[in-house]
Structure 1
Amino acid sequence: MPNLKLIIANKNYSSWSLRPWIALKVKGIEFEEVFSQFDEATGHRHFAEFSPTKKVPVLKDGDLTVWESLAILEYLAEKFPDTGLWPAEQSDRVMARCISNEMHGGFLSLRAECPMNMRRKEEAISVSEGVHKDLRRIIEIWRDCLEKSGGPFLFGDFCNADAMFAPVVNRIAKYQLSDDPVVKRYSSAMTDLPAWQEWEEAGKAEPWIVQEDEA
Structure 2
Amino acid sequence: MTATLTISSRNYSSWSLRGWLVCRMAGLDFATEILAGDDAASRAELLHLSPSFLVPRLRHEGIVVWDTLAIAQYLNETFPDAGFLPKDRAARAHCRSIAGEMHSGFINLRSALPMNLKAFHPNFRIFNGARTDIERIVTIFDDCLARYDGPFLFGERPTLADAMYAPVCTRFRTYDVALPPRASAYRDTILRWPLMMEWAEAAAEEPDEIEELDMEF
- TM (normalized to structure 1)? 0.89
**Post-superposition shift, 1:123?**
2.0
Q: What is aligned with 1:84?
A: 83
Alignment partner of 1:167 is 2:167: yes
Instruction: Compute the RMSD of aligned alpha carbons.
Output: 2.1
The runs of at least 4 consecutive aligned structure 1 residues that moved more than 4 Å come to 42-45
| Cα-to-partner distance string for 1:16-65 (whole Å, 9 max, x where unaligned) | 0000211222443322211213326x5648x9xxxxx5531001112211
Contact 2:123–2:175 (CA under 8 A) maintained in structure 1: yes
Unaligned runs of 5+ in 1: 48-52
Q: What is aligned with 1:105?
A: 104
Trace 1:1-215 onto structure 2 (pairs within 5 A). Answer: 2=2, 4-39=3-38, 42=40, 44=42, 55-156=54-155, 157-210=157-210, 211-212=212-213
Equivalent residue letter for 1:128: F
Tell me, in whole angstroms, the C-alpha distance in 1 between the residues paired with 2:134 and 2:88: 27
Equivalent residue letter for 1:112: S
Tell me, in whole angstroms, the C-alpha distance in 2 between the residues paired with 1:186 and 1:14: 21
- Aligned to 2:81, the other structure's residue is in SS state helix
Unaligned runs of 5+ in 2: 46-51
Tell me, in whole angstroms, the C-alpha distance in 2 between the residues paired with 1:70 and 1:56: 12
**Post-superposition shift, 1:209?**
2.9
- Tell me which of the two structures has the higher relative contact order, counting C-alpha pairs closer than 8 angstroms and 6 or more residues apart: 1
Number of aligned pairs?
Answer: 207
Equivalent residue letter for 2:182: V
- Aligned to 2:133, the other structure's residue is in SS state helix
Equivalent residue letter for 1:168: V
Equivalent residue letter for 2:126: V
Tell me, in whole angstroms, the C-alpha distance in 2 between the residues paired with 1:27 and 1:43: 26
Tell me, in whole angstroms, the C-alpha distance in 1 between the residues paired with 2:21 and 2:53: 22
